[in-house]
């Protein structure tokens, strides 16, 4: 068994500046023992996909509270697939209405966390569902 | 001294007796939790007495409304002459959609307008920019050129209603549009009133609508202050904002301290850069605070804010005009206190927060709608939020008398404590070389990140309670109607923008953009050039691209 640490990128796509959740989670993942890369706000889907590949992460966690998740989340997932990095798991969070869940899952987003989700529940999901990529 | 010695002596004697009783009582019925604190984790005592405020001096520390140190408010008559301005923040979809919402709100008794722009507008991008994909009209109204703006203010009496615009990096441009629209309607600039948020320091600290680096951003702000002082005397050129600092997870004290220190930074820059006398512009500085869920902490914060500002203006900046000592502020209830779970509970939260703002003496108020945690507010939800203010004003009696909680042992002690802690922060930032230097070090950003993380951990541990999140969780969901912005808003807006680009005089646009560039390079005031450019139908992004080219672009360093 490898004891390789899980590498997770917390990313803020689009023009949204509501970064409280993203920053709290970045710190929480760090405290949970993951290697964390936080992109800061205002990343394009192209920038996020490129950095995820370059940083060789296992997971990308996208955060969006502006309503633009319907465009931005699938865009990141699609770019990763196109760049043969579809094995990087993409998850998301923010203000996401329930009716958007299924279309986002269909586009390749593996899990969505919305207000009220505890930090522990998010960390547990990541630990249970994601292993460091080979 | 507020109390004679006899009062303090008897208080001390009675307190000892009471403390003995408390010990006995607690032995039988233990307190429900070991530590009682505000939402910001400021520890609160079981009881406050005259002894807690025995050092206070009535004249120096409390005083009267309309008199230094303005703890009790700027207005001599309180709310009797005029309630606070009922100002609901609104904007969605196209300029036409927002204009309709504005007319509805004015008809329902709103007394001032407040504009929410969408993210591309806020960040200085046009709707057809690749960076704007998916965002058009989502979080506010999309404005690309003066044509959109004229549609936004269609039928609005700009000489009678004041309008606030939450706009930061492109504040010069949207304000230029407002000025140009007034001129087109034949209204002189001396008659229009309103506010541009125009507070970039808190963007670096918290809200993150970013464009140019801090130094250049402050320069553009000083340009607007100078232009307003000379040409638009009824305009509030900066709304120095704590709201977003708090929403980003700060404590109440951090909100107070960072906001006021931001205000001081602007005052110092205008004096230094523009050579203006402090009393020529300081009366037009305004503030914007959050009203969070902890009722008394918020009241104390707002009272402390007025006293700190009055002291800073009089003592630190040697201002002579009383109007410079006034802290005039708008308040918004706390978006981050609302829950998506059991959303109707949000009406109660907002009402409590609004009452705190009123008891703290706010001069203008936005009440959040119950659905704002999920989407832009629906007409019905906005109406309930507006009615909340009207009920507080006209039914509850909260506005009958000025600063009704003054003299409360607890409120005065808490006000003093928060003021002291705020000054400690202010002095620390002074030592760092001011707020721009502190931001470059990441100081306020990381202080807020610490507080936000700690709060989330307290919520997860059940040490702080949010009903519906970590207590009284119920599966019973009452679905609420959901306002959605159609994706076709984007297509239509791009269509309008390209039509404008075709029909306008592109030579005149280029010349006016060159003029702005030259003004930026020479350090001249950009405002007259911006007004000319927007009249020629230059777009928000075209002007912002000039700023980015001359001053450089600032990227979020991503501190956490």
**Do the Cβ atoms of B132 and A44 come within 8 Å?**
no
pLDDT for res B5: 96
Taking only the tens place, the pLDDT of each residue in A67-106 is 889 999 999 999 999 999 999 999 999 999 889 999 999 9
**How high is the ipTM of this complex?**
0.93
Residue A134 lies in a domain: no
> How far off is chain B from A26, nearest CA to CA, in Å?
7
Residue A108 lies in a domain: yes
> How far off is chain B from A84, nearest CA to CA, in Å?
24
| C-alpha B353, offset from chain centre | 14
Taking only the tens place, the pLDDT of each residue in B399-439 is 999 999 999 999 999 999 999 999 999 999 999 999 999 99
Residue A1 lies in a domain: no
Q: Residue B471: helix, strand or coil by DSSP?
A: strand
User: Are B306 and B286 a contacting pair, CB within 8 Å?
Assistant: no
Q: What is the DSSP string of A96-121?
A: --GGGHHHHHHTTEEEEE-TT--HHH
Q: Which of B134, B460, B558 sits opposite A40 (nearest CB)?
A: B558
Q: Which of B135, B469, B555 sits opposite A15 (nearest CB)?
A: B135
Task: For residues B5 and B273, give the distance between their C-alpha atoms in angstroms, rounded to a whole number.
Answer: 52
Chain A CB within 8 Å of residue B340 CB: yes
- For chain B, 560 residues long, the average pLDDT of each consecutive 10-residue run is 95 97 97 96 98 97 97 97 93 95 91 93 96 90 98 96 96 98 97 97 96 96 97 97 98 98 98 97 97 98 98 98 97 96 95 98 96 88 96 98 98 98 98 97 97 96 96 81 84 97 98 98 97 98 98 95
Q: What is the share, in percent, of chain B residues with pLDDT greater than 90? A: 93
pLDDT for res B446: 97
Number of domains present in the structure of chain A: 1
Q: Minimal CA–CA distance to A31: which of B454, B462, B245, B247?
A: B454
Residue A84 lies in a domain: yes
The token duo for B333 is 């209830």
Q: Which of A15, A24, A118 sits opposite B453 (nearest CB)?
A: A24
Q: Which residues are CB-neighbours of B1 under 8 A, at least 6 positions away? A: B54, B56, B57, B58
Whether a cis peptide bond, with omega within 30° of 0, leads into B69 is yes
| Longest Cα separation, chain A | 41
Task: For residues B126 and B131, give the distance between their C-alpha atoms in angstroms, rounded to a whole number.
Answer: 9
The pTM for the full model equals 0.95
Taking only the tens place, the pLDDT of each residue in B254-292 is 999 999 999 999 999 999 999 999 999 999 999 999 999
Q: Which of B123, B132, B456 sits opposite A119 (nearest CB)?
A: B456
Element (H, E) at A10: strand A7-11
User: Are B292 and B39 a contacting pair, CB within 8 Å?
Assistant: yes
Chain A CB within 8 Å of residue B134 CB: yes
Detail the DSSP E strand segments found in B325-464.
328-333, 364-366
Taking only the tens place, the pLDDT of each residue in B142-197 is 999 999 999 999 999 999 999 999 999 999 999 999 999 999 999 999 999 999 99
**Do the Cβ atoms of B460 and A26 come within 8 Å?**
no
Chain B CB within 8 Å of residue A20 CB: yes
Domain that holds residue A29: 7-129
pLDDT for res A133: 85
Q: Minimal CA–CA distance to A129: which of A51, A61, A47?
A: A61
**Do the Cβ atoms of A71 and B119 come within 8 Å?**
no
Q: Which of A39, A41, A66 sits opposite B139 (nearest CB)?
A: A66
Residue A76 lies in a domain: yes
Task: For residues B61 and B167, give the distance between their C-alpha atoms in angstroms, rounded to a whole number.
Answer: 36
Query: Taking 70 as the threshold, does the pLDDT of residue A22 lie above it?
Result: yes
Set of chain B residues whose Cβ sits within 8 Å of the Cβ of A44: 130-131
What is the phi/psi pair of residue B306, to 5°? Answer: -60, -40
Chain B CB within 8 Å of residue A95 CB: yes
Taking only the tens place, the pLDDT of each residue in A53-62 is 999 999 999 9
What is the phi/psi pair of residue B484, to 5°? Answer: -120, 140
Bridging pattern class, strands B328-333 and B364-366? parallel
Residue A2 lies in a domain: no
Domain containing A92 — which CATH number?
3.40.50.280
Q: Minimal CA–CA distance to B385: which of B82, B105, B94, B103?
A: B105
Of the pLDDT bands very low, low, confident and very high (cuts 50, 70, 90), residue A1 is very low
Set of chain B residues whose Cβ sits within 8 Å of the Cβ of A12: 556
Detail the DSSP E strand segments found in B292-390.
328-333, 364-366
> How far off is chain B from A1, nearest CA to CA, in Å?
32
**Do the Cβ atoms of B556 and A42 come within 8 Å?**
yes
Chain A CB within 8 Å of residue B247 CB: yes
Helix axes B252-269, B443-460, angle to 10 degrees: 160
**Do the Cβ atoms of B452 and A24 come within 8 Å?**
yes
Chain B CB within 8 Å of residue A97 CB: yes
Q: Which residue of B has its CA nearest to A118?
A: B460
User: Are B330 and B287 a contacting pair, CB within 8 Å?
Assistant: yes
pLDDT for res B172: 98
Residue A75 lies in a domain: yes
Domains of chain B are 59-460 (3.20.20.240)
């Amino acid at each position: 068994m490898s004891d390789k640490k899980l590498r997770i990128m917390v990313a803020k796509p689009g023009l949204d500046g509501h970064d409280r959740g993203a920053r709290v989670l970045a710190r929480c993942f760090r405290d949970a023992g993951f290697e964390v890369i936080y992109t800061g706000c205002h990343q394009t889907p192209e920038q996020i996909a490129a950095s995820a590949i370059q940083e060789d992460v296992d997971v990308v966690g996208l955060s969006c509270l502006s309503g633009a998740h319907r465009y931005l989340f699938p865009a990141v997932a699609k770019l990763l697939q196109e760049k043969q990095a579809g094995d990087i798991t993409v998850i998301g969070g923010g203000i996401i209405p329930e009716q958007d869940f299924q279309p986002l899952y269909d586009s390749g987003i593996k899990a969505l966390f919305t207000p009220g989700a505890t930090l522990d529940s998010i960390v547990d999901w990541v630990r249970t569902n994601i292993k460091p990529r080979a | 001294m507020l109390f004679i010695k006899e009062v303090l002596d008897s208080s001390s004697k009675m307190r000892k007796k009471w403390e003995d009783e408390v010990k006995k009582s607690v032995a039988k019925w233990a307190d429900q939790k070991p530590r009682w604190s505000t939402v910001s984790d400021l520890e609160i005592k079981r009881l406050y007495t005259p002894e807690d405020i025995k050092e206070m001096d009535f004249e120096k520390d409390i005083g009267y409304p309309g008199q230094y140190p303005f703890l009790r408010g700027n207005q001599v008559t309180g709310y009797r002459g005029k309630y606070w301005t009922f100002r609901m923040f609104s904007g969605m979809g196209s300029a036409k959609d927002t204009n309709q919402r504005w007319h509805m709100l004015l008809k329902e008794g709103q007394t001032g307008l407040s504009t929410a722009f969408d993210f591309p507008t806020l960040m200085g991008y046009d709707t057809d920019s690749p960076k704007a994909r998916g965002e058009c009209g989502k979080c506010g109204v999309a404005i690309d050129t003066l044509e959109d703006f004229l549609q936004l203010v269609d039928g609005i009496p700009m000489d009678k209603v004041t309008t606030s615009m939450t706009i930061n990096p492109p504040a010069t441009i949207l304000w230029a549009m407002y000025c140009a629209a007034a001129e087109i309607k034949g209204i002189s600039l001396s008659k229009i009133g309103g506010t541009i948020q125009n507070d970039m320091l808190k963007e670096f600290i918290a809200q993150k609508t970013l464009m140019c680096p801090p130094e250049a951003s402050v320069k553009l702000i000083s340009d607007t202050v100078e232009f307003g002082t000379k040409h638009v005397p009824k305009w509030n050129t900066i709304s120095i904002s704590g709201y977003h600092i708090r929403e980003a997870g700060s404590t109440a004290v951090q909100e107070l301290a960072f906001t006021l220190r931001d205000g001081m930074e602007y005052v110092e820059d205008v004096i230094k850069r523009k050579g203006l006398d402090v009393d020529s512009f300081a009366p037009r500085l305004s503030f914007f605070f959050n009203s969070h869920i902890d009722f008394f902490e918020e009241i104390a914060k707002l009272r402390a804010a007025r006293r700190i500002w009055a002291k800073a203006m009089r003592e630190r900046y040697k201002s002579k005009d009383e109007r410079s000592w006034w802290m005039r502020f708008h308040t918004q209830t706390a978006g981050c206190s609302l829950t998506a779970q059991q959303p109707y509970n949000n009406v109660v939260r907002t009402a409590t927060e609004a009452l705190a703002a009123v008891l703290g003496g706010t001069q203008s108020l936005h009440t959040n709608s119950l659905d704002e945690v999920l989407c832009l507010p629906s007409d019905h939800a906005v109406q309930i939020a507006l009615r909340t203010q009207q009920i507080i004003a006209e039914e509850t009696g909260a506005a009958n008398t000025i600063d009704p909680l003054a003299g409360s042992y607890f409120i005065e002690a808490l006000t003093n404590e928060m003021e002291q802690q705020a000054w400690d922060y202010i002095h620390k930032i002074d030592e760092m070389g001011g707020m721009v230097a502190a931001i470059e070090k990441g100081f306020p950003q990381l202080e807020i990140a610490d507080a936000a993380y700690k709060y989330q951990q307290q919520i997860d541990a059940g040490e702080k309670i949010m009903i519906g999140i970590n207590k009284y969780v119920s599966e019973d969901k009452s679905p609420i109607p959901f306002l959605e912005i159609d994706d076709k808003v984007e297509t239509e807006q791009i269509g309008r923008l390209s039509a404008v680009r075709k029909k306008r005089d592109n030579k005149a646009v280029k010349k006016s953009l060159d003029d702005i560039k030259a003004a930026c390079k020479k350090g001249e005031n950009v405002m007259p050039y911006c007004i000319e450019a927007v009249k020629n139908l230059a777009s928000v992004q075209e002007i912002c691209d000039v700023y980015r080219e001359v001053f450089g672009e600032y990227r979020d360093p991503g501190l956490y």
